[in-house]
């Protein structure tokens, strides 16, 4: 098998580059087209209907780039639009929720899992549903952490103010007795170090980006869609509006290299 078409990856903005990083590390032969909707970021506070409409537009733009699969590198979109996308498009569609939920169930020993994310992701209850679909007895404690994305986008990855907000958000989950924490937003892997530092006891962090990349690998194998080595694998990054400061934050923190960012205005 040799399918050199790119994997299409999209997100509300730049945060999904954590998934791109995980995909590059795991699948170095696969070309990737990344599309970030910086013209309308963030999706977290928006309604499900609006997020669904935007997701269909972005997926359509990647399909016109000949994507062989669609990776929804955004928890907010994954939590409200996955069935719709799977229905509308003929290629496989993979989100971040189910892979994260599966990994959390494998990691927990006390069957008590914490989930943090944007307000939209937490309100959707998508992680609880995915966790309970596999294990009806699992306990889930969820918390929306709306200030973490702005703090990350400002590059305050190692900062006293960020540490205080992390503590404030996580305190109730720790008091509840979770032993595993799902980082339910593709920005959050950039704070994995800070979270581990603040939570100074044994909590397993589940990184949705890494688990999503593993799910993509499995799917490509199952559907015979892998690119055969040696493939001149490319990474294209397109944004719907000019990149701001956070692109540099993410590029540096992830040590991700890509060429000129293409500006791809919305229709």
Known catalytic residues? 74, 185
**Strands in the chain per DSSP E:** 7-11, 32-36, 69-72, 93-94, 112-117, 139-144, 180-183, 204-207, 235-239, 262-263
* Least separation in angstroms between CB 192 and a second copy: 21
Cβ atoms within 10 Å, residue 224 = 9
Please, which residue, 66 or 245, has the CB nearer to a second copy?
Answer: 245
- The gap from C-alpha 105 to its chain's centroid, in whole angstroms, comes to 18
Return the DSSP state at 151.
Answer: H
User: Three-class SS of residue 113?
Assistant: strand
| Interface ranges with a second copy (CB under 8 A) | 38-41, 45-47, 50, 119, 146-147, 150-151, 153-154, 160-161, 164-165, 168, 241-242, 244-246
Query: Which residue lies nearer to a second copy by CB, 228 or 242?
Result: 242
The counts of H helices and E strands in the chain are: 11, 10
Please report how close the Cβ of residue 221 comes to a second copy at its closest, in angstroms.
Answer: 39
Q: How far is the CB of 161 from a second copy (least distance, A)?
A: 6
**Which residue, 218 or 252, has its beta carbon nearer to a second copy?**
252
């Amino acid at each position: 098998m040799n399918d050199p078409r790119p994997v299409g990856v999209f997100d509300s903005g730049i945060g999904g580059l954590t998934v791109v990083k995980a995909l590059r590390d795991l699948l170095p032969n696969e070309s990737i087209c990344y599309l970030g909707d910086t013209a309308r970021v963030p999706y977290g506070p928006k309604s499900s209907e609006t997020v669904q409409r935007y997701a269909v537009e972005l997926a359509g733009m990647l399909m016109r780039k000949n994507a062989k699969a669609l990776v929804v590198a955004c928890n907010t979109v994954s939590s409200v639009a996955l069935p719709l996308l799977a229905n509308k498009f003929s290629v496989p569609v993979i989100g971040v929720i189910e892979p994260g939920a599966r990994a959390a169930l494998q990691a927990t020993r006390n069957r008590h899992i914490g989930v943090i994310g944007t307000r939209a992701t937490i309100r959707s209850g998508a992680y609880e549903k995915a966790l309970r679909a596999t294990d009806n007895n699992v306990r889930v404690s969820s918390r929306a952490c709306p200030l973490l994305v702005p703090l990350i986008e400002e590059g305050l990855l190692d900062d006293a103010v960020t540490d205080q907000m992390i503590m404030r958000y996580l305190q109730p989950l720790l008091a509840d007795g979770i032993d595993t924490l799902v980082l339910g937003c593709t920005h959050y892997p950039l704070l994995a170090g800070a979270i581990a530092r603040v939570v100074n006891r044994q909590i397993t962090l589940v990184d949705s980006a890494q688990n999503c990349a593993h799910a993509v690998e499995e799917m490509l194998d199952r559907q015979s869609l892998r690119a055969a080595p040696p493939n001149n694998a490319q990474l294209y990054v397109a944004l719907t509006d000019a990149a701001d400061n956070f692109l540099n934050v993410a590029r540096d923190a992830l040590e991700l290299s890509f060429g000129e960012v293409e500006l791809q205005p919305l229709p």
